[in-house]
Amino acid sequence: MFAAFRNIAARSARRAYSTAAPAGASANEFEAGRQAIADHAKHSAELWRKITYYVAFPSIIIGLLNAKALADEHEKHLEHIKEDNGGELPERIVYPCASRLFTSLRHFNKREKDFPWGPNTPFFNPHVNIAVE
């Protein structure tokens, strides 16, 4: 009795969520479709590997070299300014905002109260940034 019930339950559960094979479809067509998908995936992966190695990595290296060249040029410019001013950079002048366009931007460099670690943000660099008001 249980064997018959088990056989009926197994047959109904087996095809419950699947569709019937199209008329005239065979296992060879199915395998050919799977092989076509696998070939496409292989060619796509190879394409993206080539794009990564021959486009992305050289672009990153070129960008790195460009940034290095700009940083070296900037350092030379700062050294030139130091030579013209007796070995030190001149004091930065903070101009008051006379224009109505920039009066609303005064709050960018002003603090109402200090941070728990001091008056400046963790990214403050005294050689580059202007001190807070």
Task: Please choose, from the candidates 109, 112, 115, 111, the residue with its C-alpha nearest in 3D space to the C-alpha of residue 130.
Answer: 109
Whole-number pLDDT of residue 27: 74
Whole-number pLDDT of residue 89: 81
Whole-number pLDDT of residue 4: 62
One pLDDT digit (tens) per residue for the chain, 133 residues: 566 666 666 666 555 566 666 666 677 888 899 999 999 999 999 999 999 999 999 999 999 999 999 999 999 998 999 899 888 888 777 666 555 555 555 556 666 788 888 878 888 887 777 766 5
For the chain, the distance separating the N- and C-terminal CA atoms, rounded to the nearest angstrom, is: 91
